[in-house]
Amino acid sequence: MTYLHSMICHTEGIRAVRPPIWRGLDGAVGVYWEATGHTGAQGYYLSPDPRIMIFFNEVSEQIRLTNEESAPAPRYRPMTRALYVPAGVPMWTSFTAMHRFSHLDLHMHSEKLVRMLSPSIGRSTVLSALRHPVEVEASRSTQMLATLLVEELEQPARHPAHAEHLVASIATGLLDFTGSEERASGRLTQAQMNRLNALVASRADCRVSLPDMAACVGLSESWFAFAFKQTTGKTPLQWQMARRLELCQDLLRSTNLSIAQIAAQMGFSDQAHFTKSFRQVVGQTPAAWRRMSAAL
């Protein structure tokens, strides 16, 4: 039986440059879009079913997203080229620059997907994976599978089972099945850490608030702080400070910026604060570390 999906979608400043190509399958609907978004364009999307988005061109510099209503700009994160959005999870997008893009949307029936994947993966593992979002850069194999599926959407040449198995293969490659053990032990999954790394990397000084970090992975602040410490052995503040100081070391090594300039650029209150933090973690003052690095 062909599955029919429903979705709430509101956009401003985004237009299709050609009619979408779509095909209904048993348990899924595939839609291929080519569109353009203007600077400041926005979108809101909410589906009662899980869905996958695969972009065929770079979008991280032009499109940002959040799952929080009325979120301020700093809480938006870069769009990745492969996303899994669980059922009922809203998404808001915003364009920072005009951009033409193409992507494959896969709307899937949850129970059908569970029946397809459970024999090889296990029902409980599949159900757990379906509840957790994934945002990654699409692997070569995922891109190839998505390309093959778009060809089948546009010009069906084989039995529908071929397209349905392509959908299952894309889902198998993208869903976070490896996270079940981590979630059971109170640790963050690799997919969640990837999202945090992308969020922190998007800030010039690597500074992100605890509420923003918790929202990025869909956890409460208290549970996030516990799970983060279980995963990394550090508090979120300690982890961010280590990232900031790594960037400071790069600046000390590769630029002629003064220590005061580096302190200001990386968000320290003053040079004394920078020096104290650097010495506590690295074991030397920034000036001593720069001299040692230059001598090596």
* CATH (one of 3.40.190.10, 1.10.4080.10, 2.60.120.810, 1.10.4030.10) for 8-175: 2.60.120.810
How far apart CA 279 and CA 261 sit, in angstroms, is 17
CB 98 within 8 A of CB 37: yes
User: pLDDT 10s digit of each residue in the chain, 296 long?
Assistant: 456 778 999 999 999 999 999 999 988 999 999 999 999 999 999 999 999 999 999 999 999 998 888 878 877 888 999 999 999 999 999 999 999 999 999 999 999 889 988 888 888 888 888 888 888 887 889 999 999 999 999 999 899 999 999 999 999 998 877 655 555 566 888 878 888 888 888 887 788 888 888 888 877 777 788 889 989 999 999 999 998 899 999 999 999 999 999 999 888 989 999 999 999 989 999 999 999 988 87
**Where are the chain's structural domains?**
8-175, 184-232, 238-295
- pTM as predicted: 0.66
Specify the pLDDT at position 202: 83
Please name the helix (run of DSSP H) or strand (run of DSSP E) that holds residue 14, with its range, or none: strand 8-16
191-207, pLDDT tens digit by residue?
788 888 888 888 877 88
pLDDT score, position 223: 79
Q: Which of 244, 245, 217 has the alpha carbon at shortest distance from 231?
A: 217
Tens of pLDDT, residues 135-146: 888 788 999 999
Q: Are 197 and 107 in contact (CB under 8 A)?
A: no
Residues in contact with 48: Cβ distance below 8 Å, sequence separation at least 6, in sequence order: 6, 87, 88
Position 11 scores a pLDDT of 96
- Check residue 181 and give its pLDDT: 56
Q: What is the CATH number of domain 238-295?
A: 1.10.10.60
CA triplet 5, 16, 153: central angle to 5 degrees? 50
Quote the pLDDT of residue 2: 59
- Residues 149 and 166: their CA atoms lie apart, in Å, by 6
